[in-house]
Amino acid sequence: MNPYTPKAIWGFNGTERPGAVYLAAALAGHNQKGLPAFSIYGRDVQDSSDTSIPADVKEKLLRFTKAGLAVATMRGKSYLAIGSVSMGIAGSIVDADFFQEYLGMRNEYADMSEIARRVNEGIYDPVEFKKAMAWTKANCKEGKDYNQADKQFSRARKDEIWEYVVKMTLIIRDMMIGNPRLAELGFGEEALGHNAIASGFQGQRQWNDHMPNGDFAEALLNSSFDWNGIRQAFMVATENDCLNGVSMLFGHLLTDTPQVFADVRSYWSPDAIKRVTGKSLSGLAANGMIHLINSGSASLDGSGEMTKNGVPAMKPYWEISEEEAKKCLGATTWYPASQGYFRGGGYSSNFLTKGNMPITLSRLNLVKGVGPVLQLAEGWTAEIPADVHKILDERTDRTWPTTWFVPRVTGKGAFTDVYSVMYNWGANHGAFSFGHIGADLITLASMLRIPVCMHNVPEDKIFRPSSWNAFGMDKEGSDYRACQAYGALYR
Ligand code: MN
């Protein structure tokens, strides 16, 4: 009867005992009580002695369980906002009611000056800092400085900035999850951390206009490895876009893989590509593609240098080898940050995502009158000829990580074509996760009573509580009506 526990009932499809009757009766009871429950019922009759779990049942059990675990894992944790609203981006307005009522999370707010305080007062582990600097020097190659000669920092200043950004990485992590070493060093309060399962760093403009930017810290924390070896990725949203941070958190909790945060920057039509490069693309990108690019919070895993069954993949950290982590680092160049954006300097991670990875781009938006809505697009990363990439990339910013994204189109609505996916995206950012996880996101959203406003998941993969059926036969309409009727999970 606890309304906060996600519920599913598996009614065994057998004739000797009435599994279906039990299932229907129990679901009706749950629906009558306002306790949404997922219905699981195998397609084929099994013998009562058959203890195997059929594939269709297995898929539903796993989808329900993974989403249920995500709901339970978020609950009681924090989103740590370091700084406030970046450049007027509405996604970085941290709405405590949303976090509390829909996710069961609390919000912690810290000023960016906390980072400066900890650097200046030496509130970090000096032993780890030394180890981190040595590792960074050995593994993070600095790129060419593309800034105007008179805007470039001296070598001495560049080296100081390297030290600063490594300290920022230690400090943001410590602020999120605490660090027992700090207590040993006499910093008991700082040792506790903010119990953060996700965080965001404002950066622009005030900090980045004056101080080294957060790109190194964000990129590395979001990756599955650092100087301490291979480990679970942290969810750190750049520009403190907490709504994109939530999209990253959803993707991470459902897949255990690191995430890539990006501007949904431009749609390149075949005609526009032809106009600026003189070339036409074939294959996946033949009908256009979307440029995903943002400095900062792209995990280096997003380079696609790791493999699963011989093809590019992003993986849970326990499946990653040392060699694969090295490959991601090898594919990444750390360019002195573009002075046009970052007057305080810093180092931006640059890589080009390998092609043909299945990915799902998602985004949570708050819309007055509706509340939170989730949108998602399954698709693939595209590999395009190097000369075409160079021209398109250098029109944007060559110091940032790039992913060429082609959503799977259906010819209908927001998925009419690649352009319509771009046109219907609800915010400047999106986060992508490895794999086609749209169905998992839809199940998770229904548990949290967040309607899905845009997706390209086949209807037979949509798995929501059975009471959604009582809100009408078209799946999108019933989702909106059910989410409205039940309201936020923790209201
Ligand atoms: Mn951005």
Ligand 1 geometric centre to CA of 256 (Å): 24
Q: pLDDT value at position 5?
A: 95
The residue type found at 185 is L
Q: Collapsing DSSP states into helix, strand and coil, what is residue 240? A: coil
| Ramachandran bin of 402, using left for φ above 0, alpha for ψ from -120 to 50, beta for the remaining angles | beta
Which tens digit of pLDDT belongs to each residue from 33-62? Answer: 999 999 999 999 999 999 999 999 999 999
Task: With cut-offs at 50, 70 and 90, classify the pLDDT of residue 1.
Answer: confident
Ligand 1 geometric centre to CA of 430 (Å): 9
Ligand 1 geometric centre to CA of 371 (Å): 23
Non-local (6+) Cβ contacts of 384 within 8 A are 281, 285, 289, 355, 404
Mean pLDDT of 195-199: 98
Instruction: Reply yes or no on whether the pLDDT at 355 is more than 90.
Output: yes
Name the catalytic one among 239, 301, 305, 479: 239
Task: With cut-offs at 50, 70 and 90, classify the pLDDT of residue 205.
Answer: very high
What does 293-338 look like in DSSP terms, one character per residue?
E-SS-B-GGGG--EEETTEEE---GGG--HHHHHHHHHT-EEEEPP
Rounded CA-CA distance 112/164 in Å is: 14
Which tens digit of pLDDT belongs to each residue from 475-486? Answer: 999 999 999 999
Which tens digit of pLDDT belongs to each residue from 423-461? Answer: 999 999 999 999 999 999 999 999 999 999 999 999 999
Mean pLDDT of 361-375: 98
Q: Could you tell me which of 322, 204, 315 has the C-alpha nearest to residue 263?
A: 204
What radius of gyration, in Å, describes the C-alpha atoms of the chain? Answer: 23
Give span(s): CATH 3.20.14.10, the chain. 71-457
Q: pLDDT value at position 335?
A: 98
Characterize the bridge pairing of strands 402-407 and 289-293. antiparallel
Rounded CA-CA distance 295/213 in Å is: 10
What does 342-387 look like in DSSP terms, one character per residue?
-TT--EEEE-BPPSS-EEEEEEEEEETTTEEEEEEEEEEE----HH
Q: In 412-482, where do the E strands start and end?
A: 429-434, 452-454
The proportion of the chain whose per-residue pLDDT surpasses 70, expressed as a percent, equals: 100
Helix 55-74 with 242-255: angle, nearest 10 deg: 140
Q: pLDDT value at position 72?
A: 98
Q: pLDDT value at position 449?
A: 98
Ligand 1 geometric centre to CA of 204 (Å): 10
Which tens digit of pLDDT belongs to each residue from 233-250? Answer: 999 999 999 999 999 999
Q: How many CB atoms lie within 10 A of CB 76?
A: 12
- Token pair in block for residue 75: 């609950």
Report how far Cα 355 is from the mean position of its chain's Cα atoms: 19
Instruction: Name the helix (H) or strand (E) containing 199.
Output: strand 196-201
Name the catalytic one among 174, 215, 226, 263: 263
Per the annotation, the verdict on 263 as an active-site residue is: yes
Mean pLDDT of 20-30: 96
Question: Residue 391: phi, psi to the nearest 5?
Answer: -65, -45
Instruction: Reply yes or no on whether the pLDDT at 158 is more than 90.
Output: yes
Q: What is the CATH number of domain 71-457?
A: 3.20.14.10
Ligand 1 geometric centre to CA of 43 (Å): 46
Mean pLDDT of 129-136: 98
Task: With cut-offs at 50, 70 and 90, classify the pLDDT of residue 17.
Answer: confident
Rounded CA-CA distance 470/482 in Å is: 9
Mean confidence (pLDDT) of the chain = 97
Which tens digit of pLDDT belongs to each residue from 269-299? Answer: 999 999 999 999 999 999 999 999 999 999 9
Q: pLDDT value at position 18?
A: 81
Q: pLDDT value at position 87?
A: 96
Per the annotation, the verdict on 16 as an active-site residue is: no
Ligand 1 geometric centre to CA of 383 (Å): 23
